[in-house]
Structure 1
Amino acid sequence: MTRQSPSALITGASAGIGQGYSEHLARTGHDLVLVARREDRLNELASRLRDAHGIAVEVLVADLSSEEGAGRVADRIVSGPLIDLLINNAGYASRGRVSELAPDTLDQMLRVNILALSRLSIAAMGRMAANGRGSIINVGSGTAFMQFPGNAGYGASKNYVMAFTRHMHLEAEGTGVRIQLLVPGVVSTDFHQIAGADLANFPPERVMKPDDLVVASLRALEKEESVCIPSLPNIKDWEAYVKAETTVGAQTSRDRIAARYH
């Protein structure tokens, strides 16, 4: 019996990191479901990948900032042919100081970065757990570890992704589902231009190529590393971060206030 090709659904597939995942997975024989808003770019990418690799590529045009768009992708995950790998990559940064943020603009970003990612994770986790297999990669951001003016909205949204995905790690134990939190730093995509930044402002040694990021992420998935920080030289630094969280967490609920408040 011929083994069916593995399949992956990638959000934000038309550019940047999402396109990098699409191209790499196509080369390794995955059938793809490509999700993004820009139909022309999706169709061009799908045609190129079909021709180059002989894979099946489904184009799913959806605006994940809308209830209808996120719902259509969730329905595809739940009711369509089984997806082996979900990559929640769609997201963007709308930056500005809290006193100056446009509420509607912030709301739209949070719908993509938080609500859509959550909805698709829920859909995939349920179906994959029922089938005893599957993988989910949620793309976070190194800015989750940083605080600087103008980053409150975006940074907080990626803190949500980090916390949500780490809880998923615990809930996936024993289900056969692999969960990865991917934490990129600065990557050479148009993300920064859209966010109003300039890649030229970053030292070259701080900027990673999308292909390298994708290779690290998929290798980490093979190794069943639940957290992938591609440029972190020593995983013990992440482990120290988690240990510090545990130390602080153990002291946050006591029957008396700390001595310094007396």
Structure 2
Amino acid sequence: MTTLPSALITGASSGIGATYAERFAQRGHDLVLVARDERRLDALAARLLKTHNVKIEVLRADLTQQSDLAAVEARLRDDPRIGVLINNAGMAQSGGFVQQGAQDIERLITLNVTALTRLAAAIAPRLVQAGAGAIVNIGSVVGLAPEFGMTVYGATKAFVLFLSQGLNLELSPKGIYVQAVLPAATRTEIWERAGIDVNTLSEVMDVNELVDAALVGYDRRELVTIPPLHVAERWDALDGARQGLLSDIRQAHAADRYRAQA
């Protein structure tokens, strides 16, 4: 009988992370749950243990703090049982760019970009050595849409998409599956923490529907999963246009429109 790998899930105390924990426990995976709120993690772990009879460990960590981040990195590097990383922890922003303070910007980037990247970097060498494993990075459709106005947040999520695509190119030949999941507005606590009333938003997806759709993409080994995208060909067209753009870039000379006119 094949033993399923353990899954380490960040931001696991509520919302998307807690739902991923529920679904992976249902599938029979042991779990390492990471978040700041140890009380809520303990309550989730107790419920999942009772319901699904899997091994669950709680690891309290604030991933914006270097010592806590280093502890989670060490666990990913050293624990051979962990074969799945759900890189879910993140935060949103409220207010426009000129209203963002330096500390707020740094904290947002530290969690959404630096911590996510370092955790992926911590587990990847071991997965490559094993020739198997998965890294799931939770991005956002905001990373495709500067028109939405969440400038710094959207930039961090654009990074998550690019990182995931690059990691796929590097790691998939070595047996590692990398998935970028791009939700739209989802009913979680991230909005309240950012000072945004989720009830003022239209077309908000239920978190269970979001994660279940993301897991369909996971099982199909999709590289980019966008649960609210109803016309899948839109993404194919966008990616095809991007690749066409690359084929037209000739680095030796500036385009004619940029050359000085006589």
Cα RMSD for the two superposed structures: 1.6
Quote the sequence identity (%): 36
Contact 2:172 2:178 in 1 (8 A): no
In the alignment, the residues of structure 2 paired with residue 168 and residue 44 of structure 1 have an alpha-carbon distance, to the nearest angstrom, of: 34
| 1:47/1:172 CA distance change after superposition, 3 Å | same
What amino acid is the match of 2:206?
Answer: K
What amino acid is the match of 1:235?
Answer: A
Structure 1 residues 25-44: aligned runs within 5 Å: 25-44=24-43
Q: How many residues align?
A: 259
What does residue 83 of structure 2 align with?
A: 84
In the alignment, the residues of structure 2 paired with residue 225 and residue 162 of structure 1 have an alpha-carbon distance, to the nearest angstrom, of: 13
Q: Equivalent of 2:231, from 222, 230, 234?
A: 234
Matched, 1:56 2:55: yes
In the alignment, the residues of structure 2 paired with residue 136 and residue 3 of structure 1 have an alpha-carbon distance, to the nearest angstrom, of: 20
- Secondary structure at the residue paired with 1:91? coil
Contact 1:11 1:88 in 2 (8 A): yes
Q: What does the per-residue CA deviation read over 1:152-181, in whole Å, with 9 as the maximum and x for residues that have no partner?
A: 111111111111111011012321111100
Taking structure 2 as the reference length, the TM-score comes to 0.93
In the alignment, the residues of structure 1 paired with residue 247 and residue 138 of structure 2 have an alpha-carbon distance, to the nearest angstrom, of: 28
Contact 1:37 1:63 in 2 (8 A): yes
- Secondary structure at the residue paired with 1:197? coil
In the alignment, the residues of structure 2 paired with residue 147 and residue 223 of structure 1 have an alpha-carbon distance, to the nearest angstrom, of: 29
- Secondary structure at the residue paired with 2:122? helix
Structure 1 residues 1-262: aligned runs within 5 Å: 2-148=1-147, 150-203=149-202, 206-254=203-251, 255-259=253-257, 262=261
In the alignment, the residues of structure 2 paired with residue 125 and residue 155 of structure 1 have an alpha-carbon distance, to the nearest angstrom, of: 25
In the alignment, the residues of structure 1 paired with residue 178 and residue 148 of structure 2 have an alpha-carbon distance, to the nearest angstrom, of: 31
What amino acid is the match of 2:30?
Answer: D
Offset at 1:100?
2.4
Offset at 1:124?
1.6
Structure 2, gaps ≥5 residues long:
none
Contact 1:97 1:149 in 2 (8 A): no
Q: What does the per-residue CA deviation read over 1:65-111, in whole Å, with 9 as the maximum and x for residues that have no partner?
A: 11111111110011124212110000001233222211011101111
| 1:246/1:29 CA distance change after superposition, 3 Å | same
Between 1:10-19 and 1:225-234, the stretch displaced more is 225-234
Offset at 1:147?
1.5
What amino acid is the match of 1:120?
Answer: L
- Secondary structure at the residue paired with 2:123? helix
In the alignment, the residues of structure 2 paired with residue 28 and residue 173 of structure 1 have an alpha-carbon distance, to the nearest angstrom, of: 23
In the alignment, the residues of structure 1 paired with residue 46 and residue 38 of structure 2 have an alpha-carbon distance, to the nearest angstrom, of: 12
Taking structure 1 as the reference length, the TM-score comes to 0.93
Q: What does the per-residue CA deviation read over 1:175-214, in whole Å, with 9 as the maximum and x for residues that have no partner?
A: 11111000000111111111221221223xx221111111
Contact 1:96 1:149 in 2 (8 A): no
In the alignment, the residues of structure 1 paired with residue 196 and residue 147 of structure 2 have an alpha-carbon distance, to the nearest angstrom, of: 14
